[in-house]
Amino acid sequence: MTDIAPAIARTVPDLRALVASWRAEGKRVGLVPTMGALHAGHISLVEIARRHADRIIVSIFVNPTQFAPTEDFSKYPRTFEADLAKLTGIGTDAVYAPTVEVMYPPDAATTVSLKGPATAGLEDIARPFHFAGVATIVAKLFTQSAPDVAVFGEKDFQQLAVIRRMAADLDLPVEVIGAPTVREADGLAMSSRNVYLSAENRAKAPELHRIMQAASSGIVAGEAPESTLARARKAIAAAGFTPDYLELRDAADLGEPRIGRPRRLLAAATLGTTRLLDNIAVD
């Protein structure tokens, strides 16, 4: 690996020319889609992508269509130069940073329509248009870069399930790889939005993960899930969060848990003005 900064592509033809040159050399291509504001969790996605591909593209695009008008699109952290520095020397070959006009020309009129995990009654309740925006932009990133593999964090577990389903349903020739959540030393799942937390709320934030772990242990030990989850929801509220959901689901399709299949505990809760998401395996 060199210390040379990644090539920067800003248009679809530039990106395709780069990918074509790698393909001509017989290289496998990996894609790590991001919205920038990179942290150690994103860096781990690049490291995982490198195990599966010879050339790595990191896309940086804050996708307007996955934010509701009431959400934080305009204040979402944009740190392009710092992101580029973080991607240098870790085996990123190209950064794809298109403009909104490249991704959404004025006459664009097509979106991906979703059911299945996208309508599981989790994030989609609070953010009804979010996954259509995510799936549309990810489908475009896939067709623009034509990667062999693409890596997404398990931190956004419903997003990962939606993208897997979409890639399978649309026969997109890309292997979707899920990467384990990277956590701060105190257990808080890394997220670009953690910068919004006040010092006081940053200290409280890991409590969500601790409560989830306790609930998971109880369920694994044989407690009835419904009463354990009800207790955990109360504990989340008592710790100062506004709980949104805490649900036990089938880990593959996010439907109701089924005997003999992996289960996942998923939560969202607001602390101050920051919405925190987390999920853990229950096994």
> Which residues belong to the active site?
42
Shortest separation between residue 118's beta carbon and ligand PAF, angstroms: 13
Instruction: Mark 77-116 with x for binding to ligand PAF (rule: CB under 6 A) and - for no binding.
Output: ----------------------------------------
Shortest separation between residue 200's beta carbon and ligand PAF, angstroms: 27
Instruction: Mark 114-143 with x for binding to ligand PAF (rule: CB under 6 A) and - for no binding.
Output: --------------------x--xx-----
| Spatial contact of 260 and 197, defined as CB atoms under 8 Å apart | no
Kindly state whether residue 35 participates in binding ligand PAF, applying the rule CB under 6 A. Answer: yes
Between CA 16 and CA 137 the distance in angstroms is 17
Q: How many other C-beta atoms lie within 10 A of the C-beta of residue 192?
A: 18
Residue nearer to ligand PAF on the CB measure, 133 or 206: 133
| Spatial contact of 265 and 279, defined as CB atoms under 8 Å apart | yes
Within 8 A by CB and 6+ apart from 257, the residues are 225, 248, 249, 250, 263
Q: In what order do the strands lie in the sheet with 242-250?
A: 242-250, 263-271, 274-282
Of the residues 18, 29, 31, 34, which one makes contact with ligand PAF according to CB under 6 A = 34
| Spatial contact of 80 and 60, defined as CB atoms under 8 Å apart | yes
Shortest separation between residue 167's beta carbon and ligand PAF, angstroms: 13
Token readout for 250 is 């089938």
Shortest separation between residue 199's beta carbon and ligand PAF, angstroms: 25
Residues at the site binding ligand PAF, with contacts judged by CB under 6 A: 33-35, 63, 66, 134, 137-138, 156, 159
